[in-house]
Amino acid sequence: MLADQLVRELLTARLVGVLATHDGAGGIHAVPMWFALHDDFVLLGTSARSRKVRCLERDKTATLVVHDSRPGYEVCGASIAGEVEIVRAEEAGPLVSRVHARYVDPAAADDPSVLVYLESDDVALRLTPSAAVTWDERGSDASRSLRSHGWALALVPTEPRP
């Protein structure tokens, strides 16, 4: 799965993925997460007290959806399924740090509020991919038409809240 060109492109880009796990009531718990590709795994950092960890303690299967969506049909993505190992204690620290290093400038650790936030990730999730489904409409006729005519409406960006 990780050798697929689109999967690798998405996993090496600084995007936010959505991790979906099975909750105890038969539903799906899906949350946006930072991630990092490492060897043959996808790493994610979280709190040991999180709902996703409780879900994974019951059922270690999960799916990570990573997509790069732009206006119109400028969309591509991958749905990566596999099993997740929950890594705890001292072994988790370096793995979580790999994830944080992709998203936060090291200088931010000097800010006490940022440090508290980063330190709340005391568990690493190590996803071993077993299957992937990809989609890529960037080169489709519809995408070219929407782009050339300016017909694709802009996506609405979110702004940081005060």
| CATH number of the domain bearing residue 17 | 2.30.110.10
Minimum mean pLDDT among 59-63, 77-81, 152-156: which range?
152-156
Q: Is residue 156 part of a domain?
A: no
Q: For residue 31, what are the domain limits?
A: 5-145
Q: Give CA–CA dist 155/153, Å, rounded.
A: 6
Q: Is residue 24 part of a domain?
A: yes
Q: Is residue 54 part of a domain?
A: yes
Burial class, 75, CB count within 10 angstroms (exposed 0-12 / middle 13-18 / buried 19+): middle
- pTM as predicted: 0.92
Question: Half-sphere exposure of residue 116, counting CA atoms within 13 Å on the CB side?
Answer: 3
Q: Is residue 159 part of a domain?
A: no
pLDDT digits (tens, 9 = 90+) for 45-75: 999 999 999 999 999 999 999 999 888 888 9
Q: Is residue 132 part of a domain?
A: yes
Region 91-115: mean pLDDT is 94
Tally of domains within the chain: 1
